[in-house]
Structures are given as structure tokens and as C-alpha cells.
Amino acid sequence: MARTDLRRAATRKRPRAASEDGLEAYRRLREGITAGRFQPNERLVEANLSKMLGAGRTAVRAALVRLDQEGLVTREHNRGARVRLVSEQEALQIEEVRAALERLLARQAAAKATAGDIRELRHVLVDMRRCFSNGDAIGYSELNPRFHQLIWAAARNPTAGRLVGTLKSQSLRYQYQTMLRPGRTERSLHEHELIFSAIVAHDPEAAEAAMRDHLEEVLETLRWAIGHKSRPPHWLPD
């Protein structure tokens, strides 16, 4: 039996242990898009990606299908795939949907949060306070999603969690616009503290209300940023 175990270990070690189907290619490509390493509306040529990711064209194709279903790329018949460009109006719609889901998640998080969840939330929150005190705006911006993700995890609702995650990745390109309004970070911090205390108190109603106020604020900021934009962001026809 020792021999078979060794053989299994050997075969599973590298051939394609972590890379089931085209999942590795999918993850890498997705990461590349959300990280902004591909421009919106940029063509995604299967052969290029195949070399770039070191995966077969089949895997790349599967990844593209996934990302299409997820809304991060668009595919036209016989014309290939492009990074999907979400308009500002679409981004607003998406954020509205996300807000609706996060309200639900905040409520469920308040109902189900464990002591561990609360500890982690508190930890992120003190980090946020420190960043704010130090005037570290970008550090704060990076902590922000972590805070929300912890709430999603605390809600123990994988369905809503998945959806809100994909929505976030779609509208990610516009997130920076919400932070450059003066005094926004301070109010944001305060709102997060309100959400946190509602969760600590296990008060679903208060948690939902606090999250609603918070995201209504964010939405308002986004509407303001979009409304005051002189011209739409133009992409260069490569």
C-alpha cells in the first residue's frame, strides 16, 4: 500500500493538482482583469492568453465562458472576447443591487455573528481608525473591502456572498471615485463603527439600517461623481 500511496502522491503532486479543468486559468485571468491589468474593451485573443497563462486553448476558452457568464467579459459570435466595459449608468445599477444585498447580509450578520467574527471585525476597525488618524487614505481604502467581506462571511449566506462578490468585481473600476470627496473618510469611518456596534449588539434591524445609510451615502457620492463628469471616459481604439 505504501507504493500506491507514493504513486498517488507523485501523480497528484504536479500534473494538475490545483489546476482542475481550467480553473487556474480562470482565476489568473479574472485576477488580471479585476486588477486592471487589461484595459476595458481590450480584445482577449485566445492564442495570446494561452501562451501568457501557459494553459491550453481549451482551458482559456472555458475561462472566457465563465467570465462571460460572470459579466466581466463579453463574447460575440466569431468575433472573440473583450473585457467588458461597464458604463457609469451600469455601475450605478450594479451598486444599487449590491446595496440591496449588503443590507440583507448586514442583517443576517447581526443575527448570526460569532465571537470570532466580531473579533476580526473589531481588528479591522481599529486598523481603519489608525489609518484615518495617520491620514493614510489608501490604507483605509484597502481595509474597506476587508471589512465588508468579513460581514459577508459572518452572515453565513454563501448565495448572497457570491453574488455580492461578483457585483463588486464588476463595478470595481469606479470605486476610487467614492473616496475623493472631502471629509468622506471620516464619515465613512463613523458609519462603519455604527454598523459594527449594531452587529455586536446582535440587532438585525439596526445593522440593516446602518448599512443602508452607509451605502446610501456611497451611492449618493457616486451619483455626484458621475453627474459632475464633463465627458465620458473615452478608450483609445487600439
Residues forming contacts to a copy of itself in the complex (CB under 8 A) are 20-21, 61-62, 65-66, 69-71, 75, 77-78, 90, 93-94, 96-97, 100-101, 103-104, 108, 157-160, 163, 167
Residue 14: DSSP 8-state:
S
Which of DNA, a copy of itself, none does 159 bind, CB closer than 5 to 8 A by kind?
Answer: a copy of itself
Residue 11's binding partner out of DNA, a copy of itself, none, with CB under 5 to 8 Å set by partner kind: DNA
Q: Which stretch binds DNA (CB under 7 A): 15-23, 104-112, 118-126, 224-232?
A: 15-23
Query: Which of 57, 123, 130, 229 is close enough to bind DNA by CB under 7 A?
Result: 57
Minimum distance from residue 40 beta carbon to DNA (Å):
17
Contact positions with DNA (CB under 7 A) in 74-93:
75, 77-81
| 114-117 LR contacts (CB < 8 Å, sep 24+) | 114/154, 117/150, 117/153, 117/154, 117/199
Min CB(94)–a copy of itself separation in Å? 5
Retrieve residue 214's grid coordinates.
452607509
Q: How far is 201 from 113, CA to CA, in rounded Å? A: 10
Q: In what order do the strands lie in the sheet with 73-76?
A: 43-44, 80-83, 73-76
**Spatial CB neighbours of 40, under 8 Å, sequence gap ≥ 6:** 83, 84, 85, 86, 173, 235
Does residue 19 interact with DNA by CB under 7 A?
yes
- Residue 42: contacted member of a copy of itself, DNA, none (CB under 5 to 8 Å, by partner type): none
Instruction: Decide: is 73 part of the binding site for DNA (CB under 7 A).
Output: no
Q: Which does 123 bind (CB under 5 to 8 A by kind): DNA, a copy of itself, none?
A: none
Whose Cβ is closer to DNA: residue 84's or residue 168's?
84
100 binds, options DNA, a copy of itself, none, Cβ within 5 to 8 A by partner type: a copy of itself
Task: Say whether residue 230 binds DNA (CB under 7 A).
Answer: no
DSSP string, 133-195: HTT-HHHHHHHHHHHHHHHHHHHT-HHHHHHHHHHHHHHGGGGGGGT-STTHHHHHHHHHHHH
User: Minimum distance from CB of 4 to DNA (Å)?
Assistant: 5
Q: How many CB atoms lie within 10 A of CB 7?
A: 10
Provide, rounded to whole angstroms, the least separation between the CB of residue 62 and DNA: 7
Q: From the list a copy of itself, DNA, none, which binds 163 (C-beta under 5 to 8 Å, kind-based)?
A: a copy of itself
Q: Which residue in the set 31, 36, 56, 176 belongs to the binding site for DNA (CB under 7 A)?
A: 56
Q: Is 147 exposed, middle or buried (0-12, 13-18, 19+ CB in 10 A)?
A: middle
178 contact partners, CB below 8 Å, separation of at least 6 = 184, 218, 221, 222, 225
